[in-house]
Amino acid sequence: MSLPVVNHEDYFAKIGDDHKFPINKFGELANYLIKNKIVKKFHKPYACSVETLNYAHSKEYIFDIKNKTLSKDGVKKIGFPLVDSVVQRSLIATGGTVLASKLAINYGIACNTAGGSHHANYNGGAGYCVFNDVAVAAHYVINRGLANKILIVDLDVHQGNGNSDIFKENRNVFTFSMHSKTNYPAKKSTSDLDVELEDNLEDQNYIKILKHNLTELNKENFDYIFYIAGVDIHFNDRLGKLKISDEGIRLRDELVIENFFSKRIPICGVLGGGYNKDFHKLVELHSMLHQSCAKYI
């Protein structure tokens, strides 16, 4: 049996060749996973329904995206042009995380090759995030009685402010964000557990901090994990402010996966951010999530 991984060709969208978001990474990551025999074949998602999206987003915002009637300010805040392919990508990628969340129940572990759009909140998107796929999927899993106490482990370099906003009054979802103190967003939200990291932090201290917090989180009785494995913590990332090496990212992913999988807690892994100056390195770094998870299938 191979690791269940969700992918769709519509994860690519037409945002312009000169856009600083590396939209081509999704297709190239899929190719990399197949070529290196990390994945045999992909599970294909459907577009997320309005009903399911509405767990985490207002209907007004959902239809503003679907109908492309969002205000100019709203579009500017997201950072993508609101064109048909962006709308389709947002619906399909969110559906991808929902599908991966169900596969994780069946197999113990599963991944999306997109996802981790953690800046989107109930009423709008931000920071290249249209719909908050993890928030949507977390609500989906709880509403169907598949989990009672979810932990979101967010190790993107940026704070998962959308998740902390959406779940601030929800005792069924615990938000943990370990991020750069001085990075986007300028005004941070309050997660259940925020760990702010100083600029230029390197592997040894990063891993030490992560291990400590995993030990603390192990005291809680979680029965489902979403893992946002952003690789913008890398030293060569254009938008990161940390100095984590390739090996540091690999060790981080292995630590997180081993910690929860060993306790037989289902894990759904999603990509998170990555803006490496070297595109081929970016794809390789993102694949580390899937490589780490594949060891347990």
- 113-126 tens-digit pLDDT: 999 999 999 999 99
Cα separation, 54 vs 166, whole angstroms: 12
pLDDT at 162 (0 to 100): 97
What distance lies between CA 42 and its chain's CA centroid? 18
Can you count the helices (H) and strands (E) in the chain? 10, 7
Q: Quote the percentage of the chain above a pLDDT of 70.
A: 100
pLDDT-derived band at 1 (thresholds 50, 70, 90) equals confident
Inter-residue contact 178 to 213 (CB < 8 Å) = yes
Mean pLDDT of 249-278: 97
pLDDT-derived band at 191 (thresholds 50, 70, 90) equals very high
CATH code, domain with 131? 3.40.800.20
Mean pLDDT of 54-65: 98
Burial of residue 158 (number of CB atoms within 10 Å: 0-12, 13-18, 19+):
buried
Cα separation, 262 vs 50, whole angstroms: 36
CA-based radius of gyration for the chain: 17
Question: Which residues 6+ apart lie within 8 Å of 52 measured at CB?
Answer: 98, 136, 139, 140
pLDDT at 44 (0 to 100): 97
More confident residue, 292 or 297: 292
Answer whether residue 170 shows pLDDT above 80: yes
pLDDT at 171 (0 to 100): 95
pLDDT at 17 (0 to 100): 83
Inter-residue contact 118 to 129 (CB < 8 Å) = yes
Residue with tokens 């981790």: 116
Helices within the chain (DSSP H only):
25-35, 50-53, 59-66, 72-78, 84-107, 133-143, 161-166, 203-217, 246-261, 279-294
Answer whether residue 35 shows pLDDT above 90: yes
Element (H, E) at 264: none
pLDDT at 132 (0 to 100): 98
Answer whether residue 20 shows pLDDT above 80: yes
DSSP state of 11: G
Instruction: List, as one string, the DSSP characters of 1-21.
Output: ----EE--GGG-----TT-SS
Structural domain including 244 reads: 5-294
Cα separation, 108 vs 179, whole angstroms: 27
What distance lies between CA 131 and its chain's CA centroid? 11
The pLDDT mean for the chain works out to 97
Number of compact structural domains in the chain: 1
Mean pLDDT of 100-120: 97
DSSP state of 151: E
Answer whether residue 286 shows pLDDT above 80: yes
Instruction: Report the SS3 class of residue 75.
Output: helix
Cα separation, 176 vs 225, whole angstroms: 11
Length of the chain: 297
Answer whether residue 283 shows pLDDT above 90: yes
Q: In 10 A of CB 146, how many CB atoms?
A: 16
pLDDT at 18 (0 to 100): 86
